[in-house]
Amino acid sequence: MQKIWDPEIVARAVHLQLHARALVWGYRFGAHRSPKIARSIEFAEHKEYSPGDPVRDIDWRVFARTERLLVRRQQADTELSIVFVLDASADMALGFQSYPDWEQSHFGRASILIASLAMISQRRGEKIGLLIMGGEGHDVHWLTPKSHKNQLIHMLNLISSIKPSKKANIKDALSFLNERVPRRSMVFLMSDCMEEPSKWGPALCTLAAQKLDLRVVHLFSQQEYDFSFSDVGKYVSSEYSSPVALDPKTCRDDFITIVEEYRSELQDWCGQSRALYIPVPLEKSLEPAFIHMMKGKR
């Protein structure tokens, strides 16, 4: 097992941070000037009015009933926790051996998005946490949400030490998270979602029952979904050992039908759990997905 101070891991962490900074700076100084993760501000409690309190915060409806001057207090933004659930299963590496490329693999692109949002969240004083599904090379799979300045460094080093392998077991991960996630949290599930949605969808709904802000970030290859290959050959998944001999010309239509049914089921579970569905095709820039994750608009 490699340690997070291994020179190769440190170098990967530095490169990951550079990719994240480039994405953040491109967002800040492009068409979008103010990076802010959109969310609702909830009413917390009343308190007695004191000289100096903003008059606009007085609850006049309560005053009309009780003739008491009370001020509405809102829950502070800093009370929010941002929790990332990262799929480190073998298929997320897209065939890369050992450490996957940051820009050419699902795992790398998910990592850049996580690092970018974590960077912004930490600057805003929010707690950030990480849950890793699958993978090897790391001895920690859960970072409790914290706002400590070293949390981001720890998170980047941990991600950089991972070699995608095995399966994600999304259902178990979401059940684990359900018992530990803070009440006011925004949860980003970063995955290729290749496990049957019917197996882990109910666990997503259980999380939703806590009234969390859920966002499912779906990483995929449009070329694979379109099955736009021309050569007859053996096709294999990194998570399954047996290759399958296929002729794309004869099975493409059936394959596309199956993919469409799968995507429809995935989005249906997102709808049931009130989770925002964010598609991230490998062939597209990360900026649209980053903006979608930030703004949270459906």
pLDDT for res 177: 95
Q: What is the pLDDT of residues 101-126, one digit of tens each?
A: 888 899 999 999 999 999 988 888 88
Mind listing the pLDDT tens digit for each residue in 115-160? Answer: 999 998 888 888 999 999 998 877 679 999 998 889 999 999 999 9
What does the pLDDT average to over 29-41?
47
pLDDT at residue 27, rounded to an integer: 60
State how far the Cα of 173 lies from the Cα of 131, in Å rounded to an integer: 8
CB-based contact 1:163 (threshold 8 Å): no
Contact indicator for 106, 94 with CB cutoff of 8 Å:
yes
User: Under CATH, which architecture does the 7-31+80-295 domain have?
Assistant: 3-Layer(aba) Sandwich (3.40)
Supply angle C-alpha 45, 298, 133, rounded to 5.
Answer: 85
Closest to 80 measured CA to CA, from 6, 181, 7: 181
Asked if pLDDT for residue 61 goes beyond 60, the answer is yes
Residue 223 has pLDDT above 70, yes or no: yes
pLDDT-derived band at 192, boundaries 50, 70, 90 = very high
pLDDT of 18 > 80? The answer is yes
Residue 202: φ, ψ to 5°: -60, -35
Is the model's pLDDT at 2 over the cut of 70?
no
Using CA atoms, how far apart are residues 252 and 247, in angstroms rounded to an integer? 8
**Could you tell me the pTM of the whole model?**
0.78
CATH 3.40.50.410 range(s) for the chain read: 7-31+80-295
Residue 59: what pLDDT?
84
Residue count of the chain, please give it.
Answer: 298
For the stretch 65-106, pLDDT in tens is 888 888 876 654 446 899 999 999 999 997 676 677 888 899
User: pLDDT digits over 245-291, tens only?
Assistant: 777 788 888 889 999 999 999 999 999 999 999 999 999 999 999 98
Q: Are 105 and 16 in contact (CB under 8 A)?
A: no
- State which H helix or E strand residue 74 sits in: strand 70-74
